Structure 1
């Protein structure tokens, strides 16, 4: 059994994907070109924003947004404590200071209550200037943007939506990657929409930011390739990945997103009386990057993971360590009760196999095993 069965997906899409890759090879154009331009247009239309700028990966997408906003030393950027390292890494890389914010126990996403508390604390201390809130649409579920936007406006902060796991999710029909002043996503293979390597994209309605990011991602270019007007980076999505993404995006829109929601719903039906299953708030729609259950303790989680492994069923812990306990962020400076929800979740979460091509037999096998294990 595969955790996310990309091999099965390829077999189903093989004819179109192979043709797309051959088409790029035959064209002789491997960087930029029509495949990239067409993909960017399709993604922008789907999300509902004016601009989509593709780049080399999701981490670069975040970095390019912060570069466009001139985030630097002395700035404070608020980041969920329960997320992948890159969401805070990019802040530190620009010389700014990540301020870790606890998450909601139910949704895994940033807590608006703790967010405002941390903003007020930074202002009161007076050493850093609050600039940006990085929200993360964790495991496919968009963050609570109605509350977060009110807070951002109250303190004159920008919102950078990290939609690496959230692409395809929605709130009241409005799609993820449209809620930030700038939003980003990742096309890492295991993401809801993934390519066959690394890739990423940036979304915004702001013409000036879009133009600046287009420059920054290609060595700070000006009017042409060898006119460099600023210091930039080399972060481009290649044509082969764009061609593959066009094929996979069609399947994603037509049936994959719907099918993965059906698999997740079956999990919830079978497990909701057994373990703590994911909660999708009313009017929210998840793209289900992960199906993450919560156990009562680390011992229960580890025991379940071991029993699943013995039965040939893969599972993953996303994430075993909260951001504030990462060595790179001087973990020893935080108190034991810092971000308690994040710390607790790291001890109790377990992600089960999930993908659009998963059959009922596999879901039933997993759920039947969980039911008989002494949790």
Structure 2
């Protein structure tokens, strides 16, 4: 049985008429950048995410960049972030001339080791970026008091975690900023690039909106050197439709994850599944294999059966060539390096059937028994 890693058509088919109506509405307007569609979507997001300000931007990467720009991050500054995450987290730091300081992961949940964050602080530390990886929130309860004590800005990278929560607080509502991605594969995926910046702070929100449009307010009067970080009206209109179905998407992902755990346990493979975390929204369902060779064998078996898989992420950021000048070497952050060799994402998305999940787990079991 062929099973895709993600099937966007299955997600969109039930709401196709709603999406087409939104497309037609925007097509007949005369404003395709920002405007009423974006404002309405921002207001809806602010309500869902329990924040005062939700600012539509061009991508999740640009949301991170914009947050850092709002607090004036630049050369000489350090920003602490996990090494086991998508490149954009550290890329935004480096683009502004600041230094990313990498910390290792906690293998129980793939988020960073908080004790390493605390130990990594120096007089140059201006911000930290907890990443709610794969849809599971990093520990915010200890982080926020520590950050307030030292005057450090907390920028939540919630690109993979819309609708996730930490102790019933929505991801992106706890730190000074929240950054979301609407890349098509995300739990609230658009039809191209898009993102969102959230904050509870009026002054930061005002600065972010100015920086979003080349630092101008009013138009052609530039207070800052900003960027072109605007969300377009069509993306906002389509995302607004999907936002109304986000609860359903989340429940379906959580149900799929629970069923995977049950199936894996029935086949004696419970150890492969991630720990169950409250508030997890499962942008990815990640298996942890025994070693690199076993991952290779399982992935090959699934590929031969036409079952989609992916590796997130094959090289930790501290070992990426572009950061070689920072002086990290293999072995410095061993948990992340081990995870990069042994993790494997398997299909999870709204509309995934029980029969498809059965097929996925059956192939995994066979792959392990055969080797």
Relative to the length of structure 1, the TM-score reads: 0.95
Q: Is 2:242 the partner of 1:262?
A: no
Q: Which runs of 5+ in 1 are unaligned?
A: 124-128
Matched with 2:276 is 280
Instruction: State the distance in 2 between where 1:225 and 1:332 align.
Output: 40
Once structures 1 and 2 are overlaid, which stretch shifts more, 266-275 or 140-149?
Answer: 266-275
Q: Which runs of 5+ in 2 are unaligned?
A: none
Q: Secondary structure at the match of 1:145?
A: coil
Of 36, 53, 56 in structure 1, the residue corresponding to residue 55 of structure 2 is 53
Matched with 1:93 is 95
Matched with 2:213 is 218
Instruction: State the distance in 1 between where 2:360 and 2:330 align.
Output: 35
Instruction: State the distance in 2 between where 1:220 and 1:334 align.
Output: 36
Q: How does 1:110-125 map to 2 (within 5 A)?
A: 110-119=112-121, 122-123=122-123
Q: How does 1:334-349 map to 2 (within 5 A)?
A: 334-349=328-343
Matched with 1:133 is 128
Matched with 2:227 is 233
Q: How does 1:239-258 map to 2 (within 5 A)?
A: 239-253=233-247, 255-258=248-251
Deviations 1:162-206 (A, max 9, x none): 000011101222111112111110000001111000000000010
Matched with 1:168 is 163
Matched with 2:316 is 322
Instruction: State the distance in 2 between where 1:257 and 1:335 align.
Output: 38
Deviations 1:283-314 (A, max 9, x none): x2111110001001000001100000000101
In the comparison of the two structures, how many residue pairs are matched? 364
Instruction: State the distance in 1 between where 2:308 and 2:239 align.
Output: 26
C-alpha displacement of 1:156: 2.5
Q: Is 2:61 the partner of 1:32?
A: no
Q: Secondary structure at the match of 2:286?
A: strand
C-alpha displacement of 1:332: 8.3
Matched with 2:197 is 202
Q: Is 2:182 the partner of 1:187?
A: yes
C-alpha displacement of 1:153: 2.8
Q: Secondary structure at the match of 2:28?
A: helix
Matched with 1:126 is none
Q: Assess if the C-alpha contact under 8 Å between 1:324 and 1:331 holds in 2.
A: no
Q: Secondary structure at the match of 1:220?
A: coil
Deviations 1:117-175 (A, max 9, x none): 222xx45xxxxx11111010000001011122233234321110000001110122211
CA RMSD of aligned residues (A): 1.3
Relative to the length of structure 2, the TM-score reads: 0.96
C-alpha displacement of 1:280: 2.9
Matched with 2:294 is 300
Instruction: State the distance in 2 between where 1:367 and 1:35 align.
Output: 43
Q: Assess if the C-alpha contact under 8 Å between 1:322 and 1:346 holds in 2.
A: yes
Instruction: State the distance in 1 between where 2:281 and 2:250 align.
Output: 6
Matched with 2:9 is 7
C-alpha displacement of 1:271: 1.3
